[in-house]
Amino acid sequence: MTALARAVGAPATAATLTVTDATGGSRELRLAGRLDAYSISGVWALARAEAARTPNRSVVIEASGVVYCDGAGVAMLVDLLRQERSAAAPVTVRGLKPEFQTLLDQFDPAAFRPPAAAPPERLHAVEEIGRAALIVWRDMVTQIAFVGETSAALWFAIRHPDRVRWKDVWYTCEQVGANALPIVALISFLIGMIIAFQSAVPMRQYGAELFVADLVALAILRELGPLMTAILLAGRSGAAFAAEIGTMKVNEELNALTTMGLDPVRFLVVTRILAALLMVPLLTLFANIIGILGGALTMISFNIPILTYLREVDSLVDIKDLWAGMAKTPAFAILIAGIGCLRGLQTETGAAAVGISATRAVVSGIILLVVVDGVYAFIYYLLDI
Amino acid sequence: MAADPIIRVENLTAGYDAEVLMRDVNFTVNRGEVFVILGGSGSGKSTLLKHMIGLYEPMSGRVLIDGDDIVTAEGEAHYAILRKIGVMYQSGALFGSMTLLENVRLPLEEYTALVDEAMDLLARTKLRLVGLDQFCGHMPAELSGGMQKRAAIARAMALDPTILFLDEPSAGLDPITSATLDELILRLAKSLHITFVIVSHELASIYTVADRVIMLDKRKQGIIAEGDPKMLRDSSDDPWVRQFFRREAAAEAT
């Protein structure tokens, strides 16, 4: 920090500007010292202001005192020369040392005139809506095409299980499943604890803390276990899928697959969807158990022993509730993996594009998860499950 | 060599969205020759290559590989064409999560019923051809750019294609590595009778390897020269072509 401050604050020789009235009614700006990027900011502003103040008098920049001038100094001189002025009152540079003059001569100030400001293009509201709708429509078409392609590839995988790259599936299972255990455990344990605590405080006023056990178990089994696991995986694996496939696309690896006659959907998407289909139910089961245990910990602090808690859970919660939650997991799995892969395949060129794809995978993944979860809730309500 | 076309490009018009890069381009590539597509930056060399391997759909026109249209062929017919070609991409495009051996093995795993040992041996022989068999277990990221490109050639040759497409094989390589690659191309062309289609702008390498070149130009939206590179250098009547081959600055040509 101090080194930088010294470097910026103390140039070897500062640039100076003195303004005088010369003979013949012209203004003379006498530049001297060192013209580099660190020293010129002050004199640049001064010289510009001075030139602008005298639009009807010719301005002579007397530069014989300049001892050093690099690209920055030349840019400043070009800036002073390029200003639009009447022909009777030009800006001229005089006395610049030949070695600096040759540098300056490489630039034609007229070429650097700022272009006349074009009025910003404004779209009619209708056009804006139309364009936005077109983008949404195209995105929908690709998504529908992708669903079709993926279904076909999955169907092919079911009929020809020997053509599936199981090695890749197991590897992805490890990434998606085993490696996600700690974070899933942490979040579901906290969720269980928090729900139990937040409901135990008011329930205690009615002496009904024991029923918190049912509340926690029902909420976790039916809703929070599957949903939280899915949201975690959307953030974790959905983004990873998008980034992996996106990077492969940027590196032309997807093109390489295509010209080898290997369908990227079968090769990359199917393996990931299969891995997610295997792992999401298992992780959800795990999250359910840990969540209920989290609730148990809170209840112990409310003087309800763990056995009493579990017996209460057992008395009211049915196996049907577990299945109601588990039934959602295949849909969630396909959704997370599918969206992640789709966004990856849609990646445009460049490193930033991979980041954009990962973000889009997470955002659209979570939105769709919530929508699908709502659909399930509605169906369960109609079926009275 | 008697003219025996293996690739025919007929009336190809290609570009992106509204911008046409080339219009009504016609040429043929003969069996067994090393054919080089030349041109300045942005002239559409790589785009032309990607049309020839069926990655992009042309605005109009056809690309025939051994008599079959690569654009319209579907299903098995399409795979049959793809099996005749191998492609080395500009960046190598090796699969980063696999070792070199696994990269070269991949097409074999997908298309043949060979036992594991046979596939390993086959993949090793391909890596041997490009002089990389001692790096079988390495990941692509552990290799230099030139080695990655050679490995990519080995992968492209995994199924013994009749045509190899190379996109800028010598771009970004030092002269020695680049010369090694040229030697490899010539050796493969002679010993395996592979037809090469190479996109390049490296003059030194073109004189060494090319039997025939075509030169693309963006302003003319097509081919401005065709023939033997040394003859083009010495006797082309297009000033821009002469400048290109003589490495003169193009200030006046534009």
Instruction: Give the separation between CA B114 and CA B103, rounded to whole angstroms.
Output: 16
Distance, in angstroms, between A248 CA and closest chain B CA?
A: 8
Question: B211 — phi, psi (to 5°)?
Answer: -85, -40
Do A252 and B106 count as a contact with CB atoms less than 8 A apart? no
Contact in structure between B182 and B170 (CB atoms under 8 Å): yes
Give the pLDDT of residue A4. 45
Contact in structure between A299 and A193 (CB atoms under 8 Å): no
Residue A101: pLDDT over 60: yes
Query: What average pLDDT does this structure show over A377-385?
Result: 90
Give the pLDDT of residue B203. 81
Query: What average pLDDT does this structure show over B32-44?
Result: 86
Bigger pLDDT: A290 or A43? A290
Give the pLDDT of residue B254. 39
Give the chain B residue nearest A259 (alpha carbons).
B82
Instruction: Give the separation between CA A346 and CA A93, rounded to whole angstroms.
Output: 55
Do B83 and A255 count as a contact with CB atoms less than 8 A apart? no
> Distance of alpha carbon B120 from its chain centroid, rounded?
26
| Closest Cβ opposite residue B93 in set A251, A261, A262 | A251
Model pLDDT for residues A33-48, shown as the tens digit of each residue: 888 888 888 888 888 8
Ramachandran category for residue A11: left, alpha or beta (phi over 0 → left; psi -120 to 50 → alpha): beta
Selected residue of B91, B98, B108 to mutate for chain A interface (largest A Cβ count, 10 A): B91
Distance, in angstroms, between A150 CA and closest chain B CA?
A: 17
B76: chain A residues, CB-CB within 8 Å = none
Do B55 and A258 count as a contact with CB atoms less than 8 A apart? yes
Answer whether A352 touches B (CB < 8 Å). Answer: no
* CA distances, A236 to each of A244, A298, B8, B138 (Å): 12, 28, 48, 28
Chain A (215-274) residues lying within 8 Å, Cβ to Cβ, of chain B: 247-248, 251-253, 255-256, 258-262
Give the pLDDT of residue A1. 42
Give the pLDDT of residue B87. 92
| DSSP string across B69-115 | ETTT--HHHHHHHHHHEEEEBTTB---TTS-HHHHHHHHHHHH----
Answer whether B106 touches A (CB < 8 Å). Answer: yes
Q: Is residue B253 part of a domain?
A: no
Selected residue of A169, A245, A249, A252 to mutate for chain B interface (largest B Cβ count, 10 A): A252
Q: Which domain covers residue B157, as residue numbers?
A: 5-246
pLDDT band at B2, cuts 50/70/90?
low
Do A252 and B55 count as a contact with CB atoms less than 8 A apart? no
> Distance of alpha carbon A104 from its chain centroid, rounded?
44
Do A259 and B55 count as a contact with CB atoms less than 8 A apart? yes
- pTM of the predicted protein model: 0.78
- For residue A299, the tally of other CB atoms under 10 A from its CB is 25
Q: In what order do the strands lie in the sheet with B19-30?
A: B19-30, B5-16, B60-65, B68-69
First-to-final CA distance of chain B: 37
Place of tokens 């497409």: B165
Q: Is residue B67 part of a domain?
A: yes
Q: Is residue B193 part of a domain?
A: yes
| Closest Cβ opposite residue A259 in set B85, B90, B95 | B85
- Return the amino acid letter for A110: A
Give the pLDDT of residue B201. 80
Do A251 and B90 count as a contact with CB atoms less than 8 A apart? no
The size of chain B, in residues, is: 254
pLDDT band at A7, cuts 50/70/90?
very low
Do B82 and A256 count as a contact with CB atoms less than 8 A apart? no
What sign results for the dihedral spanned by CA atoms A181, A183, A186, A190?
negative
Give me the interface pTM, i.e. the ipTM.
0.85
Task: Say how many CA atoms lie within 13 Å of B167 toward its Cβ.
Answer: 23
Q: Is residue B251 part of a domain?
A: no
Q: Give the tokens for residue B51.
A: 């049309």
Give the pLDDT of residue A6. 46
Residue B249: pLDDT over 80: no
Instruction: Give the separation between CA B92 and CA B140, rounded to whole angstroms.
Output: 9
Give the pLDDT of residue A311. 92
Query: What average pLDDT does this structure show over A151-176?
Result: 91
Do B78 and A261 count as a contact with CB atoms less than 8 A apart? yes
pLDDT band at A13, cuts 50/70/90?
low
Residue B107: pLDDT over 90: no
The size of chain A, in residues, is: 385
Model pLDDT for residues B134-193, shown as the tens digit of each residue: 888 889 989 888 888 889 988 998 888 899 999 988 877 788 888 888 888 888 888 888
pLDDT band at A330, cuts 50/70/90?
very high
Q: Is residue B254 part of a domain?
A: no
Answer whether B250 touches A (CB < 8 Å). Answer: no
Residue B244: pLDDT over 90: no
Answer whether A64 touches B (CB < 8 Å). Answer: no
Residue A45's contacts (CB-CB under 8 Å, 6 or more residues apart) are none
A251: chain B residues, CB-CB within 8 Å = 91, 93, 96
Query: What average pLDDT does this structure show over A8-18?
Result: 67
Q: Give the tokens for residue A371.
A: 């929508």
Name the least confident of A1-5, A275-279, B100-104. A1-5
Q: Specify the DSSP class assigned to residue B144.
A: -
Q: Is residue B138 part of a domain?
A: yes
Residue A11: pLDDT over 60: no
Give the pLDDT of residue B224. 83
| DSSP string across B9-48 | EEEEEEEETTEEEEEEEEEEEETT-EEEEEE-TTSSHHHH
Contact in structure between A291 and A192 (CB atoms under 8 Å): yes
Contact in structure between A271 and A312 (CB atoms under 8 Å): no
The closest of A362, A152, A349, A363 to A269, measured between CA atoms, is: A152
Query: What average pLDDT does this structure show over B61-67?
Result: 88
Answer whether B79 touches A (CB < 8 Å). Answer: yes
Structural domains of chain A, ranges and CATH numbers in brackets: 9-112 (3.30.750.24), 136-383 (no CATH)
Instruction: Give the separation between CA A290 and CA A189, rounded to whole angstroms.
Output: 5
Place of tokens 């490890």: A174
CA-based max dimension of chain B: 61
Query: What average pLDDT does this structure show over A262-286?
Result: 93
First-to-final CA distance of chain A: 66
Distance, in angstroms, between A256 CA and closest chain B CA?
A: 7
Q: Give the tokens for residue A6.
A: 């010294």
Model pLDDT for residues A104-151, shown as the tens digit of each residue: 888 888 888 777 777 777 778 888 899 999 999 998 898 899 989 899
B94: chain A residues, CB-CB within 8 Å = 253
Do A258 and B91 count as a contact with CB atoms less than 8 A apart? no
Name the least confident of A10-14, A23-27, A77-81, B230-234. A10-14
Q: Look over chain B and give the mean of its residue pLDDT values, rounded to a whole number.
A: 85
The closest of B156, B154, B150, B164 to B125, measured between CA atoms, is: B154
**b or e along B33-66 (b: 16 or more beta carbons within 10 Å of the residue's beta carbon)?**
bbbbbbbbeebbbbbbbbbbbbbbebeebebbbb
**b or e along B144-162 (b: 16 or more beta carbons within 10 Å of the residue's beta carbon)?**
eebbbbbbbbbbbbbbebb
CA dihedral B184, B186, B187, B190 (to 10 degrees): 160
* CA distances, B143 to each of A347, B133, B138, B152 (Å): 26, 13, 8, 12
Q: Give the tokens for residue A296.
A: 């148990």
Query: Tell me, what CATH number does B203's domain have?
Result: 3.40.50.300
* CA distances, A340 to each of A21, A140, A235, B132 (Å): 71, 15, 10, 36
Give the pLDDT of residue A363. 94
Contact in structure between A164 and A271 (CB atoms under 8 Å): yes
Answer whether A349 touches B (CB < 8 Å). Answer: no
Answer whether B90 touches A (CB < 8 Å). Answer: yes
Distance, in angstroms, between B109 CA and closest chain A CA?
A: 10
Say how many domains are in chain B: 1
Answer whether B94 touches A (CB < 8 Å). Answer: yes
Contact in structure between A252 and B93 (CB atoms under 8 Å): yes
| Closest Cβ opposite residue B91 in set A251, A258, A262 | A251
pLDDT band at A285, cuts 50/70/90?
very high
Alpha helices by DSSP H, chain A: 2-9, 41-53, 71-82, 98-105, 125-159, 166-176, 181-204, 212-218, 225-233, 239-250, 253-259, 264, 270-301, 306-316, 319-326, 329-345, 351-383
The closest of A54, A333, A344 to A173, measured between CA atoms, is: A333
Residue B230: pLDDT over 60: yes
Residue A350: pLDDT over 80: no
Residue A8: pLDDT over 80: no
In a 3-state reduction of DSSP, which class is residue B54?
coil
